[in-house]
Copies of this chain bind each other. A is one copy, B any other.
Amino acid sequence: MPISPEAHTVKQFDVQLANLRNMVMEMGGLAEDQLKRAIAALDEEDLAATRETIARDRIINGLQLKADEECISIIALRQPLGSDLRLIMSLASIVTDLERIGDGAKKIARMTLHIYDGVSSPPSAKLLRDVKPMAQTAATMLHDCLDALARLDVPKALSIIHSDTELDQEFQGALRRLITYMMEDPRTIGHAINVVFIIKALERIGDHCKNIAEHTVYLVEGKNIQQRRNIDMNVVDALVKDVEMTWTNNP
């Protein structure tokens, strides 16, 4: 029995949406991988791996372009309404956050090249002491917010919003310690500034994870509590009117 064109279109929409979700999760996996690579390369003073991490940022940027293209094409071809449209708009801005997390990993790699430039003597271990624990917090936030997005797990998403405050406090503490080291030994200032940019990049990666978590909450709520959100109801009402008008005005 042949399926109706409506069912056909719905099926195509689900396929494209699944495709977009996969792209986003793939980008997320790459962003996680890039962060791990950047931190490992810094830890092991491996400049080849550092340069590879910088080069690999292009893969994430390429995926972002593909995902943006897919968002536009889904909206243009399928013309989704209400919560479907909100889902796609949310995924579109999650894509932006993932690309910026990739930039953060690249920034850490760039700073690694500055620190181990072969000219200045390598930094003392204590200068880099706070990087690993901060990177661990950021990596966990990134893993959890992608997990929460994949499972549409609101409690988990909310817990990430709390973790971000933790990471901000770690950043403040690390910054204070770096300033103390610089004051104790001004020769460390050159290296310390690079470390300041590294911990700043980690702190901002946390902000992007928080954005992703907030979009996940919004995305789920947008479906469940739509009835209680006037703004959504107005849009929905307007849509219904618009669709009715189209049907009454067209043969």
Contacts and interface: CB of A to CB of B under 8 A. Distances in A.
Copy count, this protein chain:
2
Interface residues of A, number: 38
Given A231-B69, A249-B5, A85 B75 contact: yes
A233 interface: no
Contact of A179 (B72, B179, B190, B250): B190
Nearest to A239: B76
Given A182-B182, A186-B183, A193-B175, A235 B89 contact: no
B182 A189 contact: yes
Contacts of A197: 200
Interface string A1-25: 0000100000000000000000000
Tell me the interface secondary structure of chain A in the complex: helix
A122 interface: no
A235 to B, nearest CB: 6
Nearest to A249: B5
B179 A76 contact: no
A86 interface: yes
A185 to B, nearest CB: 9
Interface of A: 5, 68-69, 71-73, 75-77, 79, 81-82, 85-86, 89, 93, 96, 175, 179, 182-183, 186-187, 189-190, 193, 196-197, 200, 231, 235, 238-239, 242, 245, 249-251
